[in-house]
Structure 1
């Protein structure tokens, strides 16, 4: 199997990783041990020579106490992938939907606090309500 080609986005993620690691004063060797990798592999990620897998990105974010989303901040400028369909049209609220806005704000606030099993059950319930 051939090695996947790295691109500008991979180099961007690697640069963000290096920036965060250095800001926190953590050596590549210490980070590598914490995520179950090698110092050389961390260096390859940071230099944009290798792709950072989703699992490794998650482990790294956890070890550095940073949300995974932090690594993607500003990435829109690097790579723009067109959506398969216009999802924004599905979620545009009418101007008179203030009660709905308030409910969505509450949901947005409590959602992360729910255990994953409950979130999955809620999503299943919503799916069942949408079935025709």
Structure 2
């Protein structure tokens, strides 16, 4: 059986998985258990040292309530050397709204107030 060598695309996808997992306050061990792989294997996925199984990526997208396309947003040739904070949210309008709706539901009243104040200040 041929061994697939990980490359920059795998690294970019792994960084996206890690970023979203941390946003959701999930441990690597917890997410690994939910998708049915060892913590060591999951760590290799996040580091981009192993190509991720497509069915595992689909499960991760479902668990993290994230469109699967979001994991590939930084995988095009022009964006392979991205910083995880450079594009912290999806760029497509429908994905942005979906993500904002999800995050809004997670905020308490005070956090919502601070977010609105922050946005108001950004618009000045």
1:114-125 mapped onto 2 (5 Å cutoff): none
Deviation at 1:75, TM superposition (A): 2.1
| Root-mean-square deviation (Å) | 1.3
How far, CA to CA, are the matches of 1:46 and 1:37 in structure 2?
Answer: 13
State whether residues 10 and 48 of structure 2, in contact with CA within 8 Å, keep that contact through their aligned partners in structure 1. yes
TM-score normalised per structure 2:
0.59
Deviation at 1:3, TM superposition (A): 2.1
Structure 1 unpaired stretches of 5+: 80-132
Larger of the two Rg values belongs to structure: 1
Count, aligned residues:
79
1:17-96 mapped onto 2 (5 Å cutoff): 17-76=17-76, 77-78=78-79
Structure with more contact order per residue of length (Cα contacts < 8 Å, sep ≥ 6): 2
**Structure 1 outlier segments of 4+, above 4 Å:** none
TM-score normalised per structure 1:
0.56
The match for 2:10 is: 10
For each residue in 1:42-80, what CA deviation from the matched residue of structure 2 results, as whole angstroms up to 9, or x when unmatched? 10001111001211110110111111011011322246x
State whether residues 12 and 74 of structure 2, in contact with CA within 8 Å, keep that contact through their aligned partners in structure 1. no
How far, CA to CA, are the matches of 2:67 and 2:37 in structure 1?
Answer: 20
Structure 2 unpaired stretches of 5+: 81-124
Deviation at 1:26, TM superposition (A): 0.3
The match for 2:92 is: none
How far, CA to CA, are the matches of 1:73 and 1:17 in structure 2?
Answer: 12
State whether residues 28 and 39 of structure 2, in contact with CA within 8 Å, keep that contact through their aligned partners in structure 1. yes
